Amino acid sequence: MTRAWNFSAGPAALPEAVLRRAQQELLEWNGSGASVMELSHRGKRFMALAADAEARLRRLLDVPDGYTVLFLQGGATQHFAQIPMNLAGPEDHADYIVTGHWGEKAVREAAPYLDARVAATSVDTDYLRLPPRDAWVLSPGAAYVHYTPNETIHGVAFRDIPDVGDVPLVADMSSNILSEPIDVSRFGLIYAGAQKNIGPSGLVVMIMRDDLLARAGRPMANIFRYAEHAANDSMLNTPNTWGWYLAGLTFEWLEGQGGLAAMGQTNARKAGTLYGAIDGSGGFYRSPVDVPARSRMNVPFTLHDPALDAAFLAESEDAGFLALKGHKAVGGMRASLYNAVPLDAVNELVKFMRDFATRHG
């Protein structure tokens, strides 16, 4: 068995220790006589697993009292729609800060449910910069302000949480949740598809201030109501039990790594190493993103000569690096450096990049 250095943007690398544990327990989990996938979500054993995972997540993120944690399905995309359905009536409006592909999509999926206003966008910079805070045009009476702290495709990220006054701040943290400590109390709602920093795809984790659960929304099926999911401990329908289980193992692994403060330091070091190699390559490699807006999770970069792209991809794959091809919207290369990507992987990548530059320089 050979595991590659996996820089996939998502579904992405999982901690190897988590995979080994899951492998060991796959046919018989926790003395239950069955795989964790083969057990009722309403049984004692799975209920304990579910509560334990939630408790670990709360500890990791230091979630204050007055917030509900949900384990849902549908990916972030479904919640682009479900959030306005729940947090606003059809006559309401909300402000969206658009800094890349996912912010655009959030607006598009919200539009059937309320007046989704683009309060700021950096589309005019091809999403290579962040729109300056003083240029945002927030609307009085907005139901919430939505933003994407880290844009996976464009590789731009907010280092600081924007101040939007008393309006609930809603954040799609799919690609940066758990990558460093955050102040949850600054947010009304945080949500994240699991497949980058939490676990396998098909699971969404949501952290929601309780007063937002009480918003009336509009007539809709119960299955779309966050308040119903909350009242049923995320078991309004059968949850993704395997995803929940792996999320719990990942949270446990993160605690073992020293929690989010330690992860934040490691992630800063990983990103610093890669950006350093790009910036120090004498122009062979380039990061197109404005320096203060550079993501620590997703690092797009280009080669000075696009004719070398195919060779870079082929040689990197032969050398044991996975998924370095950039998203088609941006081109070039992209290395995603989520929690489960070790510093060693980045050091090896940087070594390969230097070597490639020497051979093709």
Q: Given the rule CB under 8 A, which residues bind a second copy?
A: 1-4, 6, 8-14, 16, 19-20, 22-23, 26-28, 32-35, 37-41, 43, 73-78, 80-81, 108-110, 112-113, 193, 195, 200-203, 219-224, 236-243, 246, 320, 322-323
**Annotated active-site residue in 172, 253, 270, 325:** 172
Q: Is 344 a catalytic residue?
A: no
Tell me the backbone φ, ψ of residue 259, rounded to 5 degrees. 80, -170
| Comparison of 131 and 252: residue with beta carbon closer to a second copy | 252
354 is in an annotated binding site: no
99 is in an annotated binding site: no
| H or E stretch at 44 | helix 44-61
Q: Is 290 a catalytic residue?
A: no
**Annotated active-site residue in 92, 196, 244, 253:** 196
266 is in an annotated binding site: no
- Length of the chain in terms of residues written: 361
**Minimal distance, residue 157 CB to a second copy, in Å:** 20
Q: Single out the residue of 184, 223, 146, 166 nearest to residue 68, CA to CA.
A: 184
42 is in an annotated binding site: yes
Q: Which residues pair with 32 in a beta bridge?
A: none
**Tokens 């489960």 found at:** 340
Q: What is the DSSP letter of 131?
A: P
Whole-angstrom Cα distance, residue 180 to residue 182?
Answer: 6
Using the Cα atoms of residue 342, residue 348, residue 351 and residue 353 in order, give the sign of their dihedral: negative
Strand pairing class (298-303; 285-286) = antiparallel
76 is in an annotated binding site: yes
**Minimal distance, residue 320 CB to a second copy, in Å:** 7
244 is in an annotated binding site: no
**Minimal distance, residue 8 CB to a second copy, in Å:** 5
Q: Is 5 a catalytic residue?
A: no
210 is in an annotated binding site: no
| Comparison of 20 and 133: residue with beta carbon closer to a second copy | 20
5 is in an annotated binding site: no
**Tokens 């399905």 found at:** 73
Q: Which residues pair with 97 in a beta bridge?
A: 120
Enumerate residues 6+ apart whose C-beta is below 8 A from 247: 53, 57, 71, 194, 198, 199, 203, 205
**Minimal distance, residue 29 CB to a second copy, in Å:** 10
| Comparison of 164 and 205: residue with beta carbon closer to a second copy | 205
Whole-angstrom Cα distance, residue 106 to residue 121?
Answer: 13
**Minimal distance, residue 335 CB to a second copy, in Å:** 14
103: exposed, middle or buried (Cβ count in 10 Å: 0-12, 13-18, 19+) = buried
- Helix axes 16-24 and 241-256, enclosed angle (nearest 10): 130
**Minimal distance, residue 259 CB to a second copy, in Å:** 23
| Comparison of 116 and 130: residue with beta carbon closer to a second copy | 116
| Comparison of 78 and 139: residue with beta carbon closer to a second copy | 78
In the chain, where do the E strands start and end? 5-6, 67-72, 93-98, 115-121, 145-147, 150-151, 156-157, 169-172, 189-193, 204-209, 285-286, 298-303, 321-322, 333-336
DSSP code per residue over 242-273: HHHHHHHHHHHHHHHTTHHHHHHHHHHHHHHH
**Annotated active-site residue in 5, 92, 95, 102:** 102
**Minimal distance, residue 22 CB to a second copy, in Å:** 6
| Comparison of 182 and 205: residue with beta carbon closer to a second copy | 205
| Comparison of 15 and 131: residue with beta carbon closer to a second copy | 15
Residues making up the binding site: 42, 76-77, 102, 152, 172, 195, 237-238
The residues annotated as belonging to the active site are 102, 172, 196
Residues making up the binding site for pyridoxal 5'-phosphate: 76-77, 102, 152, 172, 195, 237-238
Residues making up the binding site for L-glutamate: 42
